[in-house]
Chain A
Amino acid sequence: MRDNLKKAFVLFLIGVISGLSIWAANEATEENIALNERNRELDFYREILTIDESVVLNTVDVDLSDILTEVTVYEDVNENAILDDGETVFGLVYKGDTSNSYGDITVLVGVKDDAILSVAISGSTNTPNFVKKVEKNNLVTFEGMSVDDVSFDDKTGATFTYGSVKSIVTLATEAYNERGDE
């Protein structure tokens, strides 16, 4: 009994020290990680909406559902993180987070002037080769499509990854159309 208690106590102690070490490391790195992730996200927006690297970007995020977020990307001239009058809006990006049988996937759909500018996969735990295949063969087909008339490749793009892309593009175009002339 005493031996078992000793073993449990040692394991408990190791667990506590490990937990505290991880907490300290998290405290030290949390800000940098958040900054890196934010910069990566902004880089994706730059790529989708073809914005120059020198422009200071900011976003207004509106959660439309559990899956979809509407991101308004604008030039933050005043650097006050508020979308003021006179600041250039580059377009809208719909960010969809969903899951399929391969894992999780985040799809970005850039929309401007009633047309899809670009679609990108910004994060995924799906099989990398399927993701690469969809990126290479399917995502380019969306570029320039009207939001009122989106067509999908139902034959060659019949994978779970492409299925998720399809559902998020559909949700994004529906959300954009519902938005009207706002």
Chain B
Amino acid sequence: MTKKENFLKGFIKENPIFVFLLGMCPALAVTASFETSLGMGILVVFVLTMSNIVISSVRNFIPYEVRTPAYIVIIATFVTIVRMLTAAYAFDLYLSLGVFIPLIVVNCLILGRAEAFASKNRVLDSAIDGLGMGLGFTFALVVIGIFREFLGTGGIALGVYLPFFGPNEIHLQVIPEIYALNFFVLAPGAFIALGIILAFMQGRKAKRVRLEIEESKRIIAEKKQAALAKKKAAALTKEAA
């Protein structure tokens, strides 16, 4: 696998949420708005990349039998650091995400990548894997967040929780609020939104697989016809001779 493939695989092909269904707790709990989704995604990118780098660096020193507790301590350290940084520099996001920041420790995506990739590969590859998978996770959260916020409130709000959208809040109202389906920003809406997006993704995948099968059938049929024609031509030549 090239470095580019390693980086891009997390976006669609091996997307943690849409394909592997990993890290579903934050995917359902913090995606009520675009900004909280993006904020959680950024925190996961940091923790995943850093923990992958450290685990890959020390993989040869950690005895096999104690690798899981060792990985968890490393991941928990980065989660604690990220929690402090969020409380210090993005306090509104910290309050909004609440208990879901410490819960990053038990996000199976992070331990999964540590076990499946970082513990077996070199530092650079592990860093790329962590970054790619983290960005893929963020992409999925943001898609769900935009979908839910847009349908639930009729627009998108910026600058409420994240400091880098500027000092003032911006509300991009597309549909009048009275036509919004409020239940999409509530807990049941999270499951339904995720279900719709997963169905769309699976539909696309099924269509692609069907097209691939049809294409391979067509190629086989063409080859068969070519072989038959060759056989006929050979028989005619033999007859003529």
| Residues A22 and B61 in contact, CB atoms below 8 Å apart | no
A102 to B73, CA, bound (A): 29
Query: A30 to chain B: closest CB distance in Å?
Result: 8
A30 to B106, CA, bound (A): 25
Query: B32 to chain A: closest CB distance in Å?
Result: 12
Is B160 located at the chain interface by the 8 A CB criterion? Answer: no
| Residues B74 and A26 in contact, CB atoms below 8 Å apart | no
Interface residues of A toward B: which range? 10 to 19
Query: A43 to chain B: closest CB distance in Å?
Result: 11
Cβ–Cβ < 8 Å partners of A36 in chain B: 87-88, 91
Cβ–Cβ < 8 Å partners of A11 in chain B: 66, 69-70, 73
| Residues A40 and B66 in contact, CB atoms below 8 Å apart | no
Is A33 located at the chain interface by the 8 A CB criterion? Answer: yes
| Residues A26 and B63 in contact, CB atoms below 8 Å apart | no
Is A18 located at the chain interface by the 8 A CB criterion? Answer: yes
A25/B84 contact (C-beta < 8 A), A15-B73, A18-B74, A32-B89 known: yes
Query: B187 to chain A: closest CB distance in Å?
Result: 10
| Residues A3 and B63 in contact, CB atoms below 8 Å apart | yes
Is B239 located at the chain interface by the 8 A CB criterion? Answer: no
| Residues B74 and A14 in contact, CB atoms below 8 Å apart | yes
A7 to B68, CA, bound (A): 12
Stretch at the interface among B75-83, B135-143, B168-176: B75-83
| Residues B88 and A14 in contact, CB atoms below 8 Å apart | no
Is A179 located at the chain interface by the 8 A CB criterion? Answer: no
| Residues B70 and A29 in contact, CB atoms below 8 Å apart | no
| Residues A10 and B85 in contact, CB atoms below 8 Å apart | no
Cβ–Cβ < 8 Å partners of A10 in chain B: 61-63, 66, 70
Is A6 located at the chain interface by the 8 A CB criterion? Answer: yes
Chain B interface SS verdict (over half): helix
With a 10 A CB-CB cut-off, give which of B61, B73, B84, B89 has the most chain A CB atoms: B84
A32/B69 contact (C-beta < 8 A), A6-B63, A7-B63, A18-B77 known: no
Chain A: CB-nearest residue to B90: A36
Cβ–Cβ < 8 Å partners of B87 in chain A: 29, 32-33, 36
Near B by CB (< 8 A), chain A positions 1-31 give: 3, 6-7, 10-11, 14-15, 18, 21-22, 25-26, 28-29
| Residues B73 and A7 in contact, CB atoms below 8 Å apart | no
| Residues B88 and A22 in contact, CB atoms below 8 Å apart | no
Cβ–Cβ < 8 Å partners of B73 in chain A: 11, 14-15, 18
| Residues B80 and A25 in contact, CB atoms below 8 Å apart | yes
Cβ–Cβ < 8 Å partners of B65 in chain A: 7
A25 to B84, CA, bound (A): 7
| Residues B88 and A7 in contact, CB atoms below 8 Å apart | no
A53 to B224, CA, bound (A): 81
Near A by CB (< 8 A), chain B positions 47-76 give: 58, 61-63, 65-66, 69-70, 73-74, 76
A3 to B65, CA, bound (A): 11
Query: B89 to chain A: closest CB distance in Å?
Result: 7
| Residues A14 and B91 in contact, CB atoms below 8 Å apart | no
A41 to B182, CA, bound (A): 31
Query: B17 to chain A: closest CB distance in Å?
Result: 24
Cβ–Cβ < 8 Å partners of A21 in chain B: 77, 81
| Residues B85 and A29 in contact, CB atoms below 8 Å apart | yes
| Residues B88 and A33 in contact, CB atoms below 8 Å apart | yes
Q: Which residues of A contact B (CB under 8 A)?
A: 3, 6-7, 10-11, 14-15, 18, 21-22, 25-26, 28-29, 32-33, 36, 40
- What would 16 more interface pairs be, CB under 8 Å, given A25-B84, A29-B84? A7-B65, A10-B61, A10-B62, A10-B70, A11-B66, A11-B69, A11-B73, A14-B73, A18-B73, A18-B74, A21-B81, A22-B77, A22-B84, A25-B85, A29-B85, A33-B88
In the assembled complex, 21 residue pairs joining A and B whose CB atoms fall closer than 8 Å, in A order, are A7-B65, A7-B66, A10-B66, A11-B66, A11-B73, A15-B73, A18-B77, A21-B81, A22-B77, A22-B80, A22-B81, A25-B84, A28-B84, A29-B88, A29-B89, A32-B89, A33-B84, A33-B88, A36-B87, A36-B91, A40-B91
